[in-house]
Structure 1
Amino acid sequence: MRRTSARFKLGSAVAVVTAAATIGGVTAWNGAAAEPEAAETLAVGTPEGYGQNTTGGAGGEVVQVSDAGAFAEAAESDGPLQIEVSGTISLSDMTDVTSDKTIIGVGSDAEITGSGLNVSEADNVIIQNLTFSNSNDDGINVQYSTNVWIDHCDFTGASDGSLDIKRASDDITVSWNHVYDSDKNMLLGHDDDNSGEDVGNLKVSYHHNWFDATNQRNPRVRFGNPVHVYNNYYNDIGSYGVASTMDAGVLVEGNYFENVDDPYHLGEGDSGPGDLVARDNELVNSSEGETGGSVSNPSYSYDLDPAADVKSIVTGGAGVGQI
């Protein structure tokens, strides 16, 4: 249960503080230390999968932003912070996000447009309930970062990747997002020559995402092993769904593929094959994918929805405004 809190204005920010008991306007103390309480958090729900330990800016001050300058100042600040985004924020360049941040859109019309977010050398970041549109680069780029949860966002129209994860990043969950009108979608591991950084890292869970007429990289994986792709809905995919390359190990489980000629395969372009295990997927007007090798089971517990139910579950719950 979330504790009772009081809000007060602090400059342009809104801070959250625990209300002390008062009697007749005088704070009542009994000399004993207060019992520890769970940190106040704006994030809705909790992450499942490899990013399960992510808490973002929980316990930090809450700030409300509605323009690019205030947003960048908050996202790049030191220490834990919870950032509420209202309306449309237009960025001209990729904006850095530092450790211990929660960034959450207010309502169903909070949007980052023009450019995207760069989660670099950061730990413990939550990004939730935001639309990322028409970036001049990536929608979100994650590199050298750990414990990241990206949840209930929309991605469309990025000039590069919608959501790329690379350079030794690890322990990440990508859940309940809706991606559409995208070519290069979700890249995991950026280069065939980066094994020195990436082997042993790039463990990512992709679940309950809606890949809606995206073209490729849903995801394309290098080196990450195991990577868990489960309970996602794929419809009308242009080139291919999931690719396992460069000694990656990808478990494709309980997904619903509809009108997908190439749901999953080994190798891609000049990248050699990885391992891919597919089980319990629903294939509707879709080809059989290519599998090979073995992949370890995930190291966490999870609830797997029946693949036949995934289309209705995901289309009814993925994306902005569904939390």
Structure 2
Amino acid sequence: MRTSRRRTTLLTAAASAALLAAGALTTGTAPASAAPTGLVGWATQNGGTTGGSGNPVTVTSASALTSAVGSSSAAVIRVSGTISCSGMLRVRSNKTILGNPGATISGCGFNINGDRNVIIRNLTFRNWNDDAINVQESATNIWIDHNSFTNGNDGAVDIKRGSDFITVSWNRVYDHDKSMLLGHSDSNGSQDTGHLRVTYHHNWFDESTQRHPRVRFGNPVHVFNNYYDSNGGYGVASTENAGVLVEGNYFENVDDPYHLGEGDSGPGTLVARNNHFVNSGSGQAGGSVRAIPYSYSLDAASSVKSIVTGGAGAGRIQV
């Protein structure tokens, strides 16, 4: 695991004053000054992912949240209560967005569009009308960790258009269809090839239907130590020359754990090793995948169900 010192830029005085005046933001008493622990995978590369910095601010309304995440300044933003909103809120670079206990984003999602160094943790997203989290246009160094996603319109976490160096960890997706798309179109290879490097680990795909993830072009994409439970469509799909390592996962009641190609998309490659199957199909693998460049610890696949159900989702960590 790589760590690095955070930037020390604070929210601009004007932005802070506006939010305080709105009564929807409060300032913390101590600055956040070190990268959070627990980050592994692709988001540790390319200089690492440290998120925001400065005195934490707390938001309790859609307007305050929109202003805080859209600021050009580095920030640590705490979300309190249930915030109801619609559409997609633009999240700019150098942000850490943390949910206080029970924090919920209802009706809208976050759009990270070409920005970098963003951390999103400990939030429940529900009933979003587009995507819950959309990462696109060469956004880099993103960590999406310990969130819960349920009953949304489209993707829970979609990553596309040349984005890179991303870790998606310890999230729970339930009562939802399209979970995690990686690469949005078969025709976007010129932008995506050589990018879309993402790590998915210790996520709980809890009776969600498909795309856990569905991958185009990215190589290597690392899918390890996730728990798949009763997924009605499929687990992992490797398509359009992607290379996916599916390692140490626990599949229970999943007829189609992983396969090559999906819909009109041609096949990628997929290497499967050390997975655990309970009342599940055997999966389809083939070809080779590029080497994983970072260090990580692999839990025994037979223990992943208990580990993940005991720790994944919002409300399972102190932030």
Q: TM-score, normalised by structure 2?
A: 0.89
| Within-5 A mapping of 1:12-161 | 12-16=25-29, 40-41=33-34, 44-52=36-44, 53-57=48-52, 59-107=53-101, 109-144=102-137, 145-161=139-155
* Maintained 8 Å contact 1:61/1:80: no
1:172-191 alignment, distance < 5 Å: 172-191=166-185
Amino acid of the structure 2 residue aligned with 1:50? W
Indicate if the aligned counterparts of 1:99 and 1:122 stay in contact, CA closer than 8 A. Answer: yes
Other-structure match for 1:26: none
Return the alpha-carbon distance in structure 1 between the equivalents of residues 90 and 157 of structure 2.
15
Alpha-carbon separation, structure 1, partners of 2:270 and 2:283: 10
Matches of 1:322 and 1:290 in 2, distance apart?
Answer: 33
Q: Is the 8 A contact 2:36 2:50 kept in 1?
A: no
Structure 2 unaligned regions, length at least 5: 6-15
Runs of 4+ off more than 6 Å = none
CA offsets 1:88-107 (integer angstroms, 9 cap, x no match): 01111110000000000001
Q: In structure 1, how many angstroms separate the alpha carbons of the residues matched to 2:292 and 2:54? A: 31
Amino acid at match of 1:243: A
Report SS of the residue matched to 1:114. Answer: strand
C-alpha distance in structure 1 between counterparts of 2:209 and 2:61, whole Å: 32
Q: In the alignment, what sits opposite 2:199?
A: 205
Larger helix proportion, structure 1 or 2? Answer: 2
Q: Which letter does structure 1 place at the counterpart of 2:78? A: E
Q: Secondary structure at the match of 1:136?
A: coil
The 10-residue stretch of structure 1 (247-256 or 294-303) with the greater mean CA deviation from structure 2: 294-303
Query: Offset at 1:170?
Result: 0.2
User: 1:62: how far off?
Assistant: 1.4
Please give the alpha-carbon distance, in whole angstroms, between the structure 2 residues aligned to 1:77 and 1:163: 22
Match of 1:25 in 2: none
Residues 159 and 181 of structure 2 are in contact (CA less than 8 Å); yes or no, is this contact kept in structure 1? yes
Mapped partners of 1:241, 1:155: distance in 2: 17
In structure 2, how many angstroms separate the alpha carbons of the residues matched to 1:306 and 1:80? 38
| Structure 1, gaps ≥5 residues long | 3-8, 19-38
Give CA deviations for 1:145-198 in whole Å, capped at 9, x if unaligned.
100000000001111111100000000000000000111110000000000100
What CA distance in whole angstroms lies between the structure 2 residues aligned with 1:98 and 1:61? 17
2:235 is aligned with 1:232: no
Identity %: 61
CA–CA separation in structure 1 for the residues paired with 2:131 and 2:152? 6
Q: CA deviation at 1:46?
A: 3.3
Corresponding residue SS for 1:310: helix
Greater Cα radius of gyration, structure 1 or 2: 1
Q: Give the aligned partner of residue 270 of structure 1.
A: 264
Aligned mates of 2:284, 2:120 — CA distance in 1? 33
Aligned AA (1:141): N
Alignment partner of 1:74: what SS? helix
Secondary structure, in 3 states, of the residue corresponding to 1:72? helix
2: CA distance, partners of 1:121 / 1:49: 20
Q: Deviations over 1:66-120 (max 9, x none)?
A: 000000000000121000000001111110000000000001x100011111011
For 1:318 and 1:45, how far apart are their aligned partners in 2?
16
Instruction: Give the match's secondary structure for 1:79.
Output: coil
Cα distance in structure 2, aligned partners of 1:74 and 1:115: 15
**Is the Cα contact below 8 Å between 2:131 and 2:158 reproduced in 1?**
yes
Q: Which amino acid aligns with 2:57?
A: V
Point out the more displaced range, 9-18 or 201-210: 9-18
* In structure 2, distance between residues paired with 1:98 and 1:15: 21
Select 1:166's aligned residue among 160, 178, 191: 160
For 1:250-309, what per-residue CA distance to the aligned partner results, in whole angstroms no more than 9, with x for missing partners? Answer: 000000000000000000000000000000000110011000100122110000000000
Q: Deviations over 1:229-262 (max 9, x none)?
A: 0000000010100000000000000000000000
Alpha-carbon separation, structure 1, partners of 2:261 and 2:178: 16
Alignment TM-score, normalising by the size of structure 1: 0.88
- Is the contact made by 2:30 and 2:56 (CA closer than 8 Å) also made in structure 1? no
Question: In 2, Cα distance between the equivalents of 1:297 and 1:211?
Answer: 26
SS of equivalent to 1:315? helix
